[in-house]
Amino acid sequence: MRLILALAAAAIALPATAAVAPVTPDPVVAAERAFAADGSRLGVKQSFLAHMAPDAIVLQPDPVSARETFLAAPDDGPDDPKLEWWPTWAGIAASGDLGFTTGPYSVGGKRRGHYFTVWKKQADGQWKWVFDGGVGSDPSSAPGPDAMPGFLAMPKVPGLYPEGAYSKVQAAEAALAADAKRDSRAAYLKVLACDGRIQSSSMAPAASCATFGRELDWRARQIAFAPSGGGISAAGDLAWTYGTAGWDRDGVAVKAHYVRVWQRRPEGWRLVFDELLIPKAASAS
């Protein structure tokens, strides 16, 4: 009895373990809002330089160093139209080190399209963007800057080591590419998560299985994809990829690029974001 009482007293005396805060996309949303605020305060060039990772890329149209690109760009002029943007949808890895945001952007007060940014937590704890690119998808119905962004759900699936996980992502990319050479619409529908998002056309981003068809029908029937790079979270549950996309339009070869986000789910890797970045002179159909 004395031993039981002693153990009970010792248990009471132990300090309470602090509850672990759940991982949410709040940090990447905050990073995006700070980035956008600096866009208004510092101008486009300086804000992009201040918030990018050393290895960040942009498409010009091929992947190039974002830092070299912006350092070579002219400084903002006093009469340049104001670029503004804000997040309406975001996601993050279970390890809290990789995430993304997307939402409308406007130029000179007029909404023009949707941006997409991939964020990576740096060794010093700061969030920096590693990819930034946008498309002219209709932003007219998107929420305003003060609205709370929607969040991609985080499935409770045991993670993998990044090395093993990324090989699975590469396999998923290869399977999608093989299928898209025959039927791009069917290829996408096989791997798209119903809570994901795809955008590229002049239509509003498609954000459900009920609306994916309209965007996929706009795209070329057969697309040749080739991966270029990307990255994966420490938990091995969220990855981003980018590469080239090509198709024929009226006998003329069209070259574009894609960027994607894959998420590991109980049923396997699923595509939760896809964007085709197409040269203005080209069309997807």
pLDDT bracket for residue 159 (50, 70, 90):
low
Q: CATH topology of 26-151 equal to that of 162-277?
A: yes
pLDDT digits (tens, 9 = 90+) for 76-121: 998 899 999 999 999 999 999 999 999 999 999 999 999 999 999 9
Q: Is the pLDDT reported for residue 229 higher than 90?
A: yes
pLDDT of residue 162: 75
d(CA 211, CA 215): 7
Q: Is the pLDDT reported for residue 239 higher than 60?
A: yes
In this structure, CATH architecture of domain 26-151: Roll (3.10)
pLDDT bracket for residue 281 (50, 70, 90):
low
User: Mean pLDDT across the chain, nearest whole number?
Assistant: 91
- 175 phi, psi to nearest 5 deg: -65, -40
pLDDT digits (tens, 9 = 90+) for 256-279: 999 999 999 999 999 999 999 998
pLDDT digits (tens, 9 = 90+) for 38-76: 999 999 999 999 999 999 999 988 999 999 999 999 999
d(CA 145, CA 101): 13
- Within 13 Å, how many C-alpha atoms sit on residue 79's CB side? 0
Domain boundaries, the chain: 26-151, 162-277
d(CA 2, CA 267): 52
The answer to whether residues 122 and 53 touch, using CB atoms and an 8 Å cutoff, is yes
pLDDT of residue 181: 98
Percentage of the residues of the chain whose pLDDT score is greater than 90: 84
CATH fold for domain 162-277: Nuclear Transport Factor 2; Chain: A, (3.10.450)
Q: Is the pLDDT reported for residue 284 higher than 80?
A: no
pLDDT bracket for residue 282 (50, 70, 90):
low
